[in-house]
Amino acid sequence: MKSGRKAVHNRSSPLSAGSVQLSVLQVAPVYLDAWATWDKLKSFGGRAVQQGAEILTWGESLIPGYPNWTSVDTTRNQKPVYAKFWDQCVTLDGPLVADMRTFAKTNNVMMIGGVTERDGGSTYCTLLTIGQDGALLGRHRKLKPTWLERLVWADGDGRGLRTHETKIGKVGSLNCWENWLPLARAALHQQGEFIHVGVWPGSDFLVRDITRFIALEGRSWSVAACGMLRSSDMMHLTEDEFPVREAMLSRQETWQDGGSRIIAPNGDVVAGPLIGEEGIVSAQLSAQAVVEARQMLDSSGHYSRSDVLRLEVSGRDISDSI
């Protein structure tokens, strides 16, 4: 006997949303020139939007550039270079971030990418998340700068370990080697992350294993957003403003070679890797693929055993502002 009841369809559910197109903008900076780098990034972003992108992401500290000079000179030449770097870093209330927000709102696109942020005399390796409406949703400062990065960047905190809503589920992001920190990943897992974005200076060797591992561990979409850096990207700098210029130019031609890629929840590479050149890496990401993969393993759900294992993130409260 038929009940006569009509089926109810949740038209706003992640599965009914179909998919979201994410594009990695793999570009090199105009080294230590924040506005010129943003103009270049914006040009690539405009192309990606025309191709259907709804989420844009890019590499670690692309604005104003990754501090490679720490590996070639640890003398007092560091001082003026750091000052130049600091001068080109962004502030959350500054005009460059405001222009980013305008771009996001105008193009109805979410943006997740790396900058170096200045606060007082210190700098922080920061991941910004900007919503499709131009709202500044998140600022995550790298928890622990790696190796020689500690000559430049201060430690971050737990306030930025948050996920943000997309139409197919939550997206989270981490900077470079903190993607290797099990508890940092777990902090995002426990919030129900469907898409994980790792931003990197750019290295196929560094990202090829961890990006796939994150996909398989979280049964989530896993993105490696990489940058580029070549000696030619530094040619506009003078020796006076960049005293390590000749040391950098003579050391090697390519400092970062990219490696951007997108991995499905089952571990398959669906886009990329893009190595040795600038470009756009895109894929359609669906909630369906995540849910299917999580029937067996769901790190943020039935396989998490929160009654036995719990993670506390110090310094984070849901009411905290960024």
Extended beta strands in the chain, E state: 19-26, 55-57, 110-119, 122-130, 136-141, 164-166, 169-175, 193-200, 221-226, 228-230, 254-263, 269-275, 279-286
Size (the chain), residues = 322
Q: Position 82: which residue type?
A: Y
- Cis ω for the linkage preceding 64 (within 30 of 0): yes
Percentage of residues in the chain having pLDDT higher than 70: 94
Q: Contact 270/262 with Cβ under 8 angstroms?
A: yes
Kindly state whether residue 306 falls inside one of the protein's structural domains: no
105 tagged catalytic: no
Interval 217-239 mean pLDDT: 96
Res 1: pLDDT: 43
- Identify the active-site residue in 60, 117, 178, 193: 60
Structural domain containing residue 52: 19-293
**Cβ-based burial of 154 (10 A; exposed 0-12, middle 13-18, buried ≥19):** middle
CA separation for the pair 271, 263 (Å, rounded): 7
- Identify the active-site residue in 125, 142, 178, 226: 142
Kindly state whether residue 5 falls inside one of the protein's structural domains: no
Res 300: pLDDT: 84
> Quick check: 48 pLDDT over 90?
yes
Kindly state whether residue 35 falls inside one of the protein's structural domains: yes
Kindly state whether residue 87 falls inside one of the protein's structural domains: yes
Q: Position 263: which residue type?
A: I
pLDDT bin (cut points 50, 70, 90) of residue 316 is low
The CATH number of the domain holding residue 160 is 3.60.110.10
Higher pLDDT, 76 or 148: 148
Res 75: pLDDT: 77
pLDDT bin (cut points 50, 70, 90) of residue 8 is very low
- Identify the active-site residue in 170, 176, 178, 226: 176
Interval 146-166 mean pLDDT: 95
Kindly state whether residue 253 falls inside one of the protein's structural domains: yes
The DSSP line for 54-110 is SEEE--TTTBT---GGGGT--STTHHHHHHHHHHH-B-TTSHHHHHHHHHHHHHT-E
Interval 232-246 mean pLDDT: 93
Kindly state whether residue 210 falls inside one of the protein's structural domains: yes
> Quick check: 245 pLDDT over 50?
yes
Whole-structure pTM value: 0.94
CA 243 to chain centroid, in Å, comes to 30
60 tagged catalytic: yes
Q: For 170-213, write each residue's pLDDT tens digit.
A: 999 999 999 999 999 999 999 999 999 999 999 999 999 999 99
142 tagged catalytic: yes
What does the mean pLDDT of the chain come to?
93
Q: Contact 193/163 with Cβ under 8 angstroms?
A: yes
- Distances in Å between the Cα of 53 and the Cα atoms of 68, 70, 101, 138, 284 are 31, 35, 16, 20, 9
Interval 16-22 mean pLDDT: 96
Kindly state whether residue 312 falls inside one of the protein's structural domains: no
Q: Position 148: which residue type?
A: L
Res 5: pLDDT: 47
> Quick check: 7 pLDDT over 70?
no
Domain count, the chain: 1
Kindly state whether residue 27 falls inside one of the protein's structural domains: yes
Closest of 214, 132, 230 to residue 172, by C-alpha: 214
